[in-house]
C-alpha cells in the first residue's frame, strides 16, 4: 500500500505528497473549469500517468531482454467531455520507440504497454488508443 496525502491550499489548488519519497506535486483547476491553470490538473495527472506507466512497463520488459529504450518518448492528448458529467473522454497516446519496426521484440513491447496498470484501470468509456512509431 502506498499513501498519498493531499492538502487543499485554497483557490482550487492542492498539494499532494507521496508517502514513501515525500516528493510533492501541485494541482490546479484548469482555466476552463474555474481555475488558474498554473499546474497540472487532476485529470492532467491521469494523462501523464498513462504514457509514463506504459513506458515504465515497456522498460521493465526491455531490461529483462537486453533492449535499450533510452530516448523513448510518448505524447498523450487528453480530451474532456463537452456534455455533463465532466470527465475524461479520450487519452490518445503516441509512443516513439527507438528501435526499427523490424525488431523481433516490437510486438512484445506493445503488449507490455497495453498491460500497464494505468491503462488497465481506465474506465471503458475512455477512448485510449495507442500508436507506436518506430525509428528507422
pLDDT for the residue numbered 121: 97
Reply yes or no on whether the pLDDT at 20 is more than 90: yes
Q: Collapsing DSSP states into helix, strand and coil, what is residue 87? A: coil
CB of 41 closer than 8 Å to CB of 30: yes
Count Cβ atoms within 10 A of the Cβ of residue 37 and give its class: 0-12 exposed, 13-18 middle, 19 or more buried. middle
pLDDT grade, residue 81 (50/70/90)? Answer: very high
What is the pLDDT, as a whole number, of residue 12?
A: 96
- Rounded average pLDDT over 17-31: 97
What pLDDT is recorded for position 136? Answer: 66
Q: What is the mean pLDDT of residues 74-82?
A: 97
Burial level of 120, CB count in 10 A (0-12/13-18/19+)?
A: exposed
Q: How confident is the model at residue 64 (pLDDT cuts 50, 70, 90)?
A: very high
Amino acid at each position: 500500500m502506498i499513501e498519498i496525502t493531499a492538502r487543499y491550499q485554497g483557490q482550487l489548488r492542492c498539494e499532494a505528497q507521496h508517502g514513501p519519497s515525500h516528493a510533492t506535486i501541485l494541482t490546479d483547476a484548469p482555466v476552463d473549469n474555474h481555475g488558474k491553470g498554473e499546474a497540472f490538473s487532476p485529470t492532467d495527472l491521469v494523462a501523464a500517468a498513462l504514457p509514463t506507466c506504459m513506458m515504465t512497463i515497456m522498460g521493465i520488459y526491455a531490461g529483462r531482454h537486453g533492449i535499450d529504450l533510452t530516448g523513448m518518448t510518448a505524447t498523450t492528448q487528453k480530451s474532456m467531455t463537452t456534455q455533463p458529467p465532466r470527465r475524461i473522454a479520450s487519452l490518445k497516446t503516441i509512443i516513439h520507440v527507438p528501435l526499427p519496426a523490424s525488431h523481433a521484440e516490437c510486438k512484445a513491447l506493445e503488449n507490455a504497454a497495453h498491460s500497464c496498470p494505468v491503462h488497465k484501470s481506465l474506465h471503458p468509456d475512455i477512448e485510449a488508443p495507442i500508436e507506436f512509431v518506430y525509428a528507422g
